[in-house]
Amino acid sequence: MSSNATTLTELLIRERPALLRLVQRILGSDGGAEDVIQSIWFKARGVDGGQPISNPRAYLYRLAANLATDHGRERTRRTRLLAEHYLWGPDEVLSTEEQAMAQDELQRVLAAAEHLPEPTRTIFRLNRLQGMTQVEVAKRQGVSVTTVENHMRSALQRLAWARSGR
């Protein structure tokens, strides 16, 4: 590992709580802050030692802000694509009235997804939005596959209720 990577890794360990707060402020209520911190760690370990970084702390905080912003954009893109796919399919042409109704339906589903209780929300996000299998989610969360299945069933039921306007 290069001297820059070592310096950044050690600094990340010391600054982790502050970096986590920064990432959480950027992402809002999304549970992806830990994922961003892990991405920072991987990036920091991969920095080459060609030229010394003049201000490692500023470099680390800029890296955190950039990765959090990218994560937020990706989350928004995935949510939009997921909503478009599940609500009205790619080949349908909707009237203005149908578009307005679909937007209302989408807002209800997104609001319901934001208000899923933990760990249901995290399990749903990992499985449906990040594409992890239920087995992978179970290993990551330290729970059984049956527990993941139960949380997914609960999440999908709540989202179906929200979609139908209940």
Identify the residue with better confidence: 89 or 32: 32
- pLDDT tens per residue, range 93-140: 667 787 778 788 888 888 888 889 999 999 998 888 888 899 999 999
**Of all residues in the chain, what percent carry a pLDDT higher than 90?**
36
Alpha-carbon distances, residue 33 vs 40, 80, 101, 154 (angstroms): 11, 20, 33, 24
Identify the residue with better confidence: 89 or 158: 158
- pLDDT tens per residue, range 49-75: 788 899 999 999 999 999 998 888 887
Q: What is the pTM of this model?
A: 0.50
Contacts of 118-122 with C-beta under 8 Å, sequence gap 24+, read 118/31, 119/143, 119/151, 120/151, 120/154, 120/155, 121/31, 121/155, 122/31
